[in-house]
């Protein structure tokens, strides 16, 4: 059964993955970066799964979905840059 979440719940969930994403982007220690990227991606994929089961309330979740897609693209680019 789909869940109905409040705006507060949505913002909290958004903040959880966004905080890990930001931490990965700001990490300057190359030895810590792979784990930061992994942690951010795990949180993002968990949130994507949650979003797929949420009944939209007062509009859609498109802005968060777009932010997630952008974040995944940047994390992939960051991971690729580590290999060079």
Q: What is the pTM of this model?
A: 0.80
Give the separation between CA 12 and CA 15, rounded to whole angstroms. Answer: 5
pLDDT value of position 47: 93
Judge whether 64 lies within some domain: yes
Residue 43 lies in a domain: yes
d(CA 74, CA 70): 6
Domain-located, residue 36: yes
Question: What confidence score (pLDDT) does residue 1 get?
Answer: 46
59-74 burial, b for 16+ CB within 10 Å, e for fewer? eebeebeebbeebbee
Domain residue limits at 24: 7-82
Residue 1 within a domain: no
Q: pLDDT value at position 63?
A: 85
Rounded average pLDDT per 10-residue block, the chain, 84 residues: 57 86 96 98 95 69 88 97 90
Q: What is the pLDDT of residue 45?
A: 96
CA-to-CA separations, 74 to 23, 28, 43, 46, 47, in angstroms, rounded: 13, 16, 15, 17, 17
Say what the pLDDT of residue 79 is: 96
């Amino acid at each position: 059964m789909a869940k109905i979440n409040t705006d507060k719940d949505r913002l909290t969930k958004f903040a959880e993955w966004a905080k890990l994403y930001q931490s990965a982007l700001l990490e300057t220690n190359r030895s810590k970066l792979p784990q930061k990227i992994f942690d951010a991606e795990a949180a993002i994929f968990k949130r994507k799964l949650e979003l797929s089961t949420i009944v939209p309330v007062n509009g859609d979740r498109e802005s968060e979905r777009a932010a997630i897609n952008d974040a995944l693209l940047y994390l992939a680019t960051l991971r690729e840059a580590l290999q060079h």
